[in-house]
Amino acid sequence: MERFLQVVVDGIADGSVYAALALALVLIFRSTGVVNFAQGEMAMFATFLAWALADAGVPIGLALAGALVLAFLGGMLVERVLIRPVEGGPPLNLVIVTLGLFILVNAAAGWIWGFDLRDFPRLFPGGVASIGGVSLSIESLGIIAVLLVVVALLWLLFTHTPVGLALRAAAQDPASARLVGVPVGRMLMLGWGLASLLGAVAGVLVAHRLFLDTNLMAGVLVYSFAGAALGGFDSPIGAVVGSWIIGVTEALAGTYVDAIGSDLKVLVPLAVIFVVLLVRPAGLFGSPEVTRA
Amino acid sequence: MIRLTAGSRAHRALRAGAIALGVLVAVGIPFNSSPVLNGQLTLVLAYAVAAIGLGLLVGYGGQISLGHGAFFAVGAYSAGAVLAKTGLPYLLAVPIAAAVAFLLGLAFGVPALRLRGLYLALVTLALAVAAGPVIKRAEPLTGGVSGLAVPQPPVPGWLAVDPDQWLYLLSLAVTGLMLLLAVNLTRGSLGRSLVAIRDGERAARTTGVDVARVKALLFACAGAYAGVGGALFAYGQGFVAPESFTLLLSFTFLGAVVVGGLGTVAGGVLGALFVVFVPQYAGDVNQALTGVIYGATLIAVVYLLPGGAAGLLRRIRRRVVTVVEPLPPAPSPPPDAQRGVHDADATSDPARAGGDPAGRGVRP
C-alpha cells in the first residue's frame, strides 16, 4: 500500500510537469486556434538559459527568475515576429511555422550548448518526508506544490484582473474585443509570453529528474498533448486534471505492468489519446466543436 | 519567350520532349558519377517516395502527419524481414511493405480522421515517438537495438552494371511507378474528391463525397507510399536500425514536402534532394547546422515561397514558355488570362489548404 501511494504521488508530480506545459498549449490554442508544436522546445531553451546562468555563478534563485523573464520576453517576441504575419491565415501555415520553430530552436540549443547530458541543479532537497506514516519524495511534493501555486496565480490573473479579462476577451472574440478597445495584438503577444513562461516552469521542474539536453521536452510534449486532449483542448482545468491522469496512469503502468516497463511507457499517452478520440472527442472538460452550418 | 497553344502539336511535342529528357538524365546519372553519389541518390529516391505520399496527404488532403517516419520504419522493417528471414523473391518486399504500411495507416487513420487537422497531428506525433521503443522491444522480428542486416538485391546476370548502379536503377523504376500512380491518383476521382474536401468540406459532403472514407483512404495511401520508401531504404542501405527512424525523420519528410512545394507531385522529389544533400554539406560545419537550415527554410518558405521549389520552377517556366488556351468558345476569358503569369492554378494553392477559418469552432 505504501508503495502504491508513493507511485501515485510520483505520478501526480510527473503529471504536474505535463500540466504546466499543457496549460501553455491550451492558452495558445484558445487564443490562436492552433497547437504550438514548438512549446516544448521553447521551454527546453529557457531551461538551458537557467542552467547557463547558474553555471556562470548566478545564485540558483536569480538564475531561475532570469530564465523565466527571458522566456516571457522570448514568447512575446516569437508571437510578434513569426506568428503575427501568418495569424488569421490558413491553420496549415501556422502549424508549419511552429514546426519550423521546433526544429530551429532545437538545433540552436544544440549549436550553443552542445548535445551532451547536463546535470541541472536540484530545486528541492532530496530524501523523503513522512506524511501519515508514508514516506513520500520531497521533490515530488515540491513539484506538485509549485503547480498548485501556478494554477492559483493563473486563476487570479484571468478572473480578478483587468488584464486577464482583456486576455479572455481577445481570445474568445477578437473582433468584438477590438471594438470595445482591447488591444488584441498586444494581448496575443502577452498570451504567448505567458505560455512560454509556463513552459519554462515545466522545463526547470523536470530538468533535474531527466537531465538536461536538447531532447529534454520532446517526451514531455507528447504527454502534455495527451493530457490536454484528455481534458479537452480548450479547458485549463481539463489540462491539469488530464495531465494528472496521464502521469498517474503512466507511473502505475510502468511499475505494475511488467510487459510495459520503463521503455514502453510512452505507449500510455498514445493509447489514451486514441481512446479519448474514439469515446469522447471533446475531452473530459472540453466543449464539443460547433461549426455554424 | 515562346507562345504555345494548349493541346497543340507543338505543346505536346515540347512536353513529351521534356519528360523524355528528364527520364534520360535520371537513367544516365549513375553511369557518370561515383558510387558514393549513387548511394546518396538512391537515398533521395527512397525519401522522395515517402515525401510524395506525404505531399498527397498535406497538399491535397490538408492534413498534417508528424509520424510519417513511423510508416517509413514499418516499410523498412517489413522489407528487411522479408529479405532476411524468408526466401521470397526480393521484388515482393516492396508490395508487402506497402500493404503493411497501408493497413497500419487505415488502423490509425479511421479513428483519428473523425476530427479535423489537429488530432491527426497529435496521434501521428505520438506514433513517431513510440516507434523507436517499440522497434527496440520487438527484438525477434527487428533485431532490437543492434538492427537488422538486409541482403541487398543482386545484380541480374544479364545486366552489366555495378551493384550501386543497379540499386539506383531499381529504386528509380519503383519511384517512377509511384510517381505515375500519384499523378493518376490526383487527376482521378479520388484526387477531385480530395480537392473538393480540402477547399470546402461541407460543400463536398453535399455533392456526395464520402468524406470520412476518402480521408481514411488517403491517409492509408500516404502510409503505403512511406512503406514503399522504407522498402527502398532497406534495399539501398542493406541495414535497418532504430536510430534511422527518429522523430527528426518525420519532421524531415514534412520539411521535404513544404520545401518541395505543396500540392504538386514533383515537389516530393525536389524536397527529397534538399533534405538529403543539406546534411551532407552542413554536417561538415556543425552538427546543429542542418537543423538550423531545415527550421529556417521551413519558416521562410511559408512567408516567401508558398509554392515551394516546384512553384518557383513553374514560375520560371512561365517566364520562358507561355501556354495560351485555344481561342475561347465562351464569351468570358479564362481566369488564367486575367491573372497573368502569376501562379493561377487555384487547386494547387497551398494557401487554401486547411479549410475555412470558421472550422476552428465556436468557443464559449
Contact (CB<8Å) B130/A292:
no
Closest by Cβ to A33, choosing from B130, B255, B360: B360
Give me the pLDDT at residue B316, please. 86
Closest by Cβ to A104, choosing from B295, B302, B303: B295
Residues B265-297 have pLDDT tens digits of 888 899 999 988 888 888 777 878 888 988 998
Average pLDDT along chain A = 88
- What is the ipTM metric for this complex? 0.85
pTM of the predicted model, to two decimals? 0.83
Tell me if chain A has a CB within 8 Å of the CB of B253: no
Q: Which residue of B has its CA nearest to A168?
A: B364
Give me the pLDDT at residue A248, please. 92
Give me the pLDDT at residue B7, please. 75
**Amino acid (1-letter code) at residue B72:** F
Q: What is the rounded distance in angstroms from the CA atom of residue A52 to the CA atom of residue A91?
A: 35
Contact (CB<8Å) B129/A219:
yes
Q: What is the rounded distance in angstroms from the CA atom of residue A10 to the CA atom of residue A151?
A: 19
Share of chain B above pLDDT 90, in %: 23
Write phi, then psi, for A86 (nearest 5 degrees).
Answer: -105, 0
For residue A58, pLDDT over 50 is answered with yes
CA distance B127 to chain A (A): 7
The dihedral through the CA atoms of B28, B34, B36, B40 has a sign that is negative
CA distance A231 to chain B (A): 14
Closest by Cβ to A287, choosing from B287, B288, B363: B363
Closest by Cβ to A100, choosing from B112, B295, B350: B295
Give me the pLDDT at residue B50, please. 95
**Farthest CA pair distance, chain B:** 71
Contact (CB<8Å) A292/B350:
no
Q: Which residue of A has its CA nearest to B359?
A: A291
For residue B70, pLDDT over 50 is answered with yes
Q: In this predicted model, which residue has the larger pLDDT, A41 or A253? A: A41
Contact (CB<8Å) B58/A92:
yes
For residue B195, pLDDT over 90 is answered with no
Contact (CB<8Å) B295/A86:
no
Confidence of residue B353 (pLDDT cuts 50, 70, 90): very low
Residues A133-190 have pLDDT tens digits of 888 899 999 999 999 999 999 999 999 999 999 998 888 888 899 999 999 999 999 9
Our CA angle for A275, B141, B72, nearest 5°, is 60
Contact (CB<8Å) B289/A111:
yes
Contacts of A225 in chain B (CB under 8 A): 122, 125-126
Write phi, then psi, for B345 (nearest 5 degrees).
Answer: -75, 90
Pick the residue of A31, A92, A246 with the most B CBs within 10 A to test the interface with B by mutation.
Answer: A92
Contacts of A86 in chain B (CB under 8 A): 302-303
Touching A: B residues 143-182, CB under 8 Å: none
CA distance A25 to chain B (A): 12
Residues 6+ apart with CB under 8 A from B31: B165
Q: In this predicted model, which residue has the larger pLDDT, B241 or A264? A: B241
Closest by Cβ to B130, choosing from A107, A218, A267: A267
Mean pLDDT across the stretch B193-203?
A: 82
Orientation of helix B247-260 relative to helix B308-320, angle to 10°: 20
Contacts of B111 in chain A (CB under 8 A): 274, 277-278
Give me the pLDDT at residue B1, please. 67
CA distance from start to end of chain A: 54
Task: Please report the number of interchain residue pairs, chain A to chain B, with beta-carbon separation below 8 angstroms.
Answer: 166
If DSSP codes are grouped into helix, strand and coil, which group holds residue B322? Answer: strand
Give me the pLDDT at residue B228, please. 96
The region of weakest confidence among A99-113, A264-278, B183-197 is A264-278
Give me the pLDDT at residue B315, please. 85
If DSSP codes are grouped into helix, strand and coil, which group holds residue A212? Answer: strand
In chain B the beta strands, taken as DSSP E runs, fall at 2-5, 148-149, 239-240, 321-324
Give me the pLDDT at residue B148, please. 86
Contact (CB<8Å) A274/B294:
no
Residues 6+ apart with CB under 8 A from A186: none
What is the per-residue DSSP string for B293-313? Answer: HHHHHHHHHHHH-TTHHHHHH
Contact (CB<8Å) B119/A277:
yes
